[in-house]
Amino acid sequence: MTDSLTPNPHDWLAEHGDYLYRYALARLRDPHQAEDVVQETLLAAMQGSGFSGKSSARTWLTGILKHKIIDQFRRQQREAPLEAPEDISDDTPGMDEFFLADGHWAEPPQAWGNPESLLQQDQFLQTLQDCMDRLPKKLARIFLLREVEESDNDEICKELEISPTNAWVMLYRARMGLRKCLELNWLGGR
């Protein structure tokens, strides 16, 4: 695959389709929805005349895809009932599991090694995806928005329709849930 300007928009699927699909799947966590948003992205790109060549075709298509993913999240939010707060708090780790009464770690976090080299390993990525799948949907979504998309807190609160305090609590729970899962399934299994 190349990341250069492609003169024929009909080649975009062959050149960028796999990348766009992986990008969408990592955020939506549903293969059918990922396929749908990639199709919508390519259709929008072919119908629009917004590609000026100032960036690569892949960068431009990824920008369109990000908007299609946000649209998908909004559709899901309107169509599906929100998770009850008790579902989030009951199934996710709390501070009691990680800290002693005096505030010290019950068990210090294990060393993860060099994060850049871990991210390049397919096995780690699969374990991370499995751990993300085990989180409640809203926790996984807020983690992706904050840590992967690097959205700021105001954008996250607006998109998820939650308060800033709730966002920080949910993000904390997502991080602790991922930490526990990765320690059991990645670091413990090495």
Domain assignments of the chain as residue spans, ordered by start: 9-79, 85-187
Alpha-carbon gap, residue 77 to 81, rounded angstroms = 7
Which residue in this structure is represented by tokens 């699927």? 13
Chain segment 74-118, per-residue pLDDT in tens: 887 777 555 555 555 544 556 567 778 777 778 877 776 776 665
Report the CATH architecture of 85-187: Orthogonal Bundle (1.10)
What is the pTM assigned to this prediction?
0.45
Measuring CA to CA, how many Å separate 173 from each of 16, 89, 98, 103, 186? 35, 8, 12, 17, 19
Half-sphere exposure of 27 (CA within 13 A, CB side): 25
38 in Cβ contact with 20 (< 8 Å): yes
Whole-angstrom distance between the N-terminal and C-terminal Cα of the chain?
Answer: 33
Task: Flag residues of the chain having pLDDT under 50.
Answer: 1-7, 90-91, 190
CA dihedral 50, 54, 56, 59 (to 10 degrees): -60
pLDDT for the residue 93: 57
pLDDT for the residue 112: 67
Bridge partners, 105 (sequence order): 99
The CATH classification number of 9-79 equals 1.10.1740
